[in-house]
Copies of this chain bind each other. A is one copy, B any other.
Amino acid sequence: MLEQLKEEVFQANLELPKQGLIKYTWGNVSGIDREQGLFVIKPSGVSYDNMKASDMVVCDLQGNVVEGKLNPSSDTPTHAVLYQRFSEIGGIVHTHSTWATAWAQSGLDVPAMGTTHADTFYGTVPCARFLTQEEIDRGYEAETGELIAETFKEREIDPLEVPGVLLHGHGPFTWGKTPSSAVMNAVVLDEVCKTNFVARQLNSYAEELPQRVLDKHYLRKHGKDAYYGQN
């Protein structure tokens, strides 16, 4: 079942330690087949050294296991809800990468302070609030997904234009058209958190990027007038 997607999700998971985003098993990547309404995700707590493509678990959009011998990532319900709420995304990544996690612990949004940010995120990356006791009781992981969707709706952010979020006190979720682009967005978000941290320490009055520069950089890589790359 979904052998090609399993391979793709497996390779995207291997990219996490290679890019320095995770230690041990502190991360997970999934990818979805929209036609079948099924997504493939890393198993829970399995060492990356021993993991095989065939260990990937297939789930439906309610987060139920459809195929696989291993338990899926404990964050599976978050992925399921995000695939439901954000209908155009194809892959999701969660890590505890150092700089994005540190920023998440600060409880602050990540402003667009540089073009590295603008090349990928079209504006501020929001930091979602802590879950309430009621939400935790109802189901921590699924409610995390609902909170992310709620945050983007309330703040009128398009999840394709800003393909990531921080969870206060926790860490980042990123997404993309594919599992591998979701991983790249995770790399960018971590790097942006690092450079913004240093910039602010150097100069607490450091400005955000002017809207005109944000527009220019985002739009030269995304949308109908893009002219970056080979396409």
Known contacts A107-B203, A213-B169, A230-B45; A101 and B130 CB within 8 A of each other? no
The reply to whether A170 and B114 form a contact with Cβ atoms under 8 Å apart is yes
Chain B residues within 8 Å of A131, by CB: 212-213
Are the CB atoms of B202 and A108 closer together than 8 Å? yes
CA distance A74 to B230 in the complex (A): 10
Stretch at the interface among A6-14, A147-155, A156-164, A187-195: A187-195
The contact of A19 among B23, B200, B228, by CB within 8 Å, is B23
Q: Which of B45, B201, B228 is in CB contact (< 8 Å) with A201?
A: B201
Contact of A206 among B105, B206, B209 (CB under 8 A): B105
Is the C-beta of A223 less than 8 angstroms from some C-beta in chain B?
Answer: no
A102 contacts B by Cβ under 8 Å: yes
Which residue in B106, B187, B194, B229 is a CB contact (below 8 Å) of A44?
Answer: B229
Give the shortest distance, in Å, between A13 (CB) and chain B (any CB): 16
Verify B74–A213 contact, CB threshold 8 A: no
- Would you call A98 and B191 a contact (CB within 8 A)? yes
A195 adjacent to B115 (CB under 8 Å): no
Chain B residues lying within 8 Å of A201, measured Cβ to Cβ, are 197, 201
Interface size on A, residues (CB 8 A): 60
Q: Which residues of B contact A182 (CB under 8 A)?
A: none
Please, how many angstroms separate the alpha-carbon atoms of A197 and B108 in the complex? 15
- How many Å lie between the Cα of A61 and that of B103 in the bound state? 43
Q: In whole angstroms, what is the CA distance A202 to B23 when docked?
A: 23
A-B contacts, 25 listed (Cβ < 8 Å)? A23-B191, A45-B228, A46-B230, A70-B230, A74-B229, A96-B114, A98-B195, A102-B196, A102-B198, A102-B202, A103-B199, A105-B196, A105-B198, A105-B199, A106-B199, A107-B207, A113-B169, A114-B169, A114-B171, A115-B170, A136-B212, A136-B213, A170-B213, A197-B198, A201-B201
